[in-house]
A and B are shown apart, each in its own frame.
Chain A
Amino acid sequence: MSKLSRTGHALYTGQVSIDFVGRWRLWYTLSAVILLAAVLGLTVKGLNLGIEFQGGVEYKVAVGQGNATLATVQDVRDAVLNAGIPNADDPTVNTSGGDSLRVTTEPLTNDESREVASRIADAVGVDVAEDISSQLIGPSWGEQVASRALQGLVVFLVLVVLLIWAYFREWKMSVAAIVALIHDVLITIGVYALSGFEVTPATVTGVLTILGFSLYDTVVVFDKVRENTHDLARSHQTYGEAANLAVNQSLVRSINTSIVALLPVGALLYAGAVLMGSGALKDLALALFVGMAAGAYSSIFIATPLLVQLKEREADVKAGDARAERYQARHQADRYANVPAYVDDMPIHDSPGADQSDPPRPTGPGGPGPGRARPRSTSSTTRKPRGVPPVRFRPALRDV
């Protein structure tokens, strides 16, 4: 725990820095591969649309604990087939949780649906009115639901672009945020296509909600980026460095918010998938789960590097970066301005002064900026990155 706080501190000050911005090629390639798989899955396999989008009938039968077995599934399937209704000649029957079955057929009329329900009830010996839930959906209804969902998605995206633009007052941030958003949506859809999970209105709801979460992450990170890049001239950082520091600084927060958001969703997913077996809870929680993972990833690995790349094309940012690099080159010799490189197992507890070998400098306006912690730059530089690979970093030794 304290380890994480320590890491948080090290990340904050820049003692430990993960080069999110500089290694953009790696992240972009990774995302490109995932996106390619998603698009392939979408075009080749397609989405497994639930009956809400296509029309059809779904029955859920409470058969009692322990009775949801393959034998019952076969019985129910036979019972439905025996009804001899053309649209119910290929029913899907499966177990749902430990105590219920789920049966789906093509669209039926109300009378046919009642007939099928009573046959199912007879086959497993339950009461039609008490133990069977059914949902009969006409084909045109599905179209309506799907088109509304699509409309909602588009309207939401447009509004979000406006909101983000109004918040950051900067179209480049909006573009980066939206790209990250589309990235998340594509990945989520791709996961659904590849895994064959059923897509229902609850799934769409989950995706829309996740867009909110994804943006939330991006807003938090960009807030910090904006703050760090506010006064680049004085901090002698390039835009990319300042942005990277921002990502690192908000990393602990991102991890924490993701965990906290994930915990209730995990509980939902468990209740939906294990306790209930199927239904709105599972669909919703699953989409949230997938999207949340993609959202946390994209705000750090996609949105920020993209923002930096967009910004680096600006003339004054270019000039500023050049200035910062010249400054850094000049001060390269000045060891005093730099923090000692962090190495594995460095005994920080033995020498509290180690951190302070460089005396604290006033941070008020006018004071010279403290040395940069991360001699890393996104632009081409001859200096080689220092510090240790983040994976090997083991902070906070005293209390472990």
Chain B
Amino acid sequence: MARKASRPGRTLIIFGLAVVAMYVAVAVNGVWAPKLGLDLQGGTRITLSASTATGEAITQDKMTEAVDIIDSRVNASGVSESEVAKQGDRNIVVEIPGQNRDDLVDTVQQQAQLRFRLVAGQPANGTPNTLPLPVPAAPKAGATGDAEPQGRAVSEGLRRASGTATPSGGASPSDGASGGGDPAATPPADPSATPAAPTQVTDKSSIAQLRAWAQSPDARSTQRLQQFTCAQADEIPDNPSRPLLACDDQGAKYLLSPAIIEGTQLNDASYGIPQNQAEYVVDLDFNGDATKTFADVTRRLAGTGELFAIVLDGVVLSAPQVTSPITDGNAQISGDFTAASARSLANSLKYGALPLQFEVQEVAEEGPTLAEDQLAAGLWAGAVGLLLVMLYCLFYYRGLGLVVIASLAVASAVTYAAVLLLSETAGFTLTLPGIAGLIVAVGITADSFIVYFERIRDELREGKSLRVAVETGWVRARATCLAADAVSLLAAVVLYIFAIGVVKGFAFALGISTVIDLVVFFFFTKPMVTLLARYPFFYRGHKLSGLSPEHVGVERLGRPAAPAAVRRTPEGATR
């Protein structure tokens, strides 16, 4: 039995070389401290979850695209070491180590679907009670045409609509939005009505058709606008190919045409304060197609008092009139921007819209002070736990306890190297639950040794010599430990797959420690015990060896134990 185990020295040397090789690899990497998680060094973690509310399918391609976009946005915000990762099917976790940056929540969450649409009629009060329309925001009127446009790419023609309060919009020929269903005609009657105002406008419709529709929208849309209140705004999907009901942040409601220009048709977006102005604006630079479209639209709308709207994620940012055509492909969004929100929007537009709508699920801020405390507590628990286990084993198993201590020390060394290598290659970060997993694993690792040692003692009680007992005990202990470790590993894998959040770190740590336990058990502890069994100190059962007859409970090593010994099956010895 176990002939091959008769060369324990060789196994030990090979194992030692493997450990050395691991540390050489670590040395090549030159990183001697593991990457710490946010809970141990402080930082911000934002967890986003793709929303299914819009009914859009959540595909992994879209999730990957979203991760890339969010990553670019975060990086553009001046955060260098951030990490953006997919978690599960529909979650994205943004981690910003070392900094308290919950201001980034809006930046990463914003879907940033920017669309230009024509406004049908004029905005109306979108709140159910009949309060007077709120005074328009931004009384400074964003980019008024009379600013100095030459130096910058300011779109001179844009002027913020001042709502219905000002009569400027009075020029609009059709006041259909506010009227009580003047095209009372039922939908089928439409084709005959005005050819330029089709009932069904889509993004394929020409600008002329869209404008005609905007001047006299179809009855159904008008009716829906009347029933619509801003409280329902969140429920309406922002579909670019269909007309849209939307509100601005002042509570005015709009009926909007299908999109004429989309946020994807931008070359660039930037932000700043135009000369002679006090408010931040976001400057847009359209690409070729959009430049043409925008020129066409502004040419048609110029001077008419008709409005177009800039809609971001289903909310009307502004709805300006056009004073003169804009042909250079530059537009400007004004509003209640602060420096941060203007930069956030510009970045969001520059790196594109997220393909899915996301909801913020979790925002965790770890203060550095508490993080340091956690690290200290974790290390303390690890050191004390390890020490207690070593002391107990030394106390109980005496000489064999040294094997336990050596094995635990080797396991710790291998684990540390593995953590370092994994944090380089697999992006493993050590979190507090991870440390807890490693500490719990100390118990699991020591358990294997106990099972083995108790087995050896059982065999000694059978009257076997130590050398034989070491081998037969091994065969039995091996099976037990493999089964037990398989369960541990299974628990770790299931936890890893199903856990969300920091618990993953625990599962990962538990998993690698279980594997390391097996490796150390097979390639270090076993050969070590075989080797030691050749020394008289152990095989003669010295008082301190942990294998003394008195300790094991037999009269003399190598003789059967008490007469009442239970029968052993012959298989046990040979299998």
Contact = CB atoms under 8 A, between A and B. Distances in A.
Interface string A1-22: 1101110111011110000000
A250 B447 CA distance: 13
A276 B443 contact: no
Interface stretch (B173-181, B232-240, B481-489, B518-526): B481-489
A360 B556 CA distance: 13
Nearest to A12: B461
Contact of A136 (B364, B376, B392): B364
Contacts of A215: 484, 487
B443 A363 contact: no
A260 B447 contact: yes
Interface stretch (B58-66, B416-424, B530-538, B560-568): B560-568
A230 B487 CA distance: 24
A315 B466 CA distance: 41
A350 to B, nearest CB: 14
A269 B264 CA distance: 53
A110 B105 contact: yes
A355 interface: yes
A6 B226 CA distance: 90
Contacts of B376: 275
B35 interface: no
Contact of B563 (A12, A261, A361): A361
A306 interface: no
Q: Which among A9, A52, A100, A370 has the highest number of chain B CB atoms within 10 Å? A: A9
Interface in A110-142: 110, 113-114, 117, 128-138, 140-141
Given A159-B490, A262-B443, A133 B365 contact: yes
B440 A128 contact: no
Nearest to A14: B564
B500 A272 contact: no
Sorted from nearest, which 10 A-B pairs have the closest CB atoms? Answer: A9-B553, A264-B385, A152-B498, A261-B443, A141-B361, A271-B381, A267-B385, A358-B563, A212-B491, A373-B564
B381 A261 contact: no
A376 to B, nearest CB: 13
B392 A263 contact: yes
A160 B369 CA distance: 41
B70 interface: no
A270 B369 CA distance: 20
Given A149-B498, A256-B450, A260-B450, A245 B566 contact: yes
Nearest to A359: B563
A256 B561 CA distance: 22
Contacts of B567: 231, 234-235, 363, 369-370
B572 A13 contact: no
Given A167-B483, A212-B488, A359-B563, A205 B443 contact: no
Contact of A260 (B100, B370, B446, B506): B446
Given A261-B440, A355-B562, A357-B563, 7 more contacts: A132-B365, A148-B88, A163-B486, A231-B567, A260-B392, A271-B377, A360-B559
Contact of B102 (A114, A249, A339, A369): A114
6 contacts: A110-B360, A133-B365, A205-B433, A260-B443, A275-B377, A359-B563
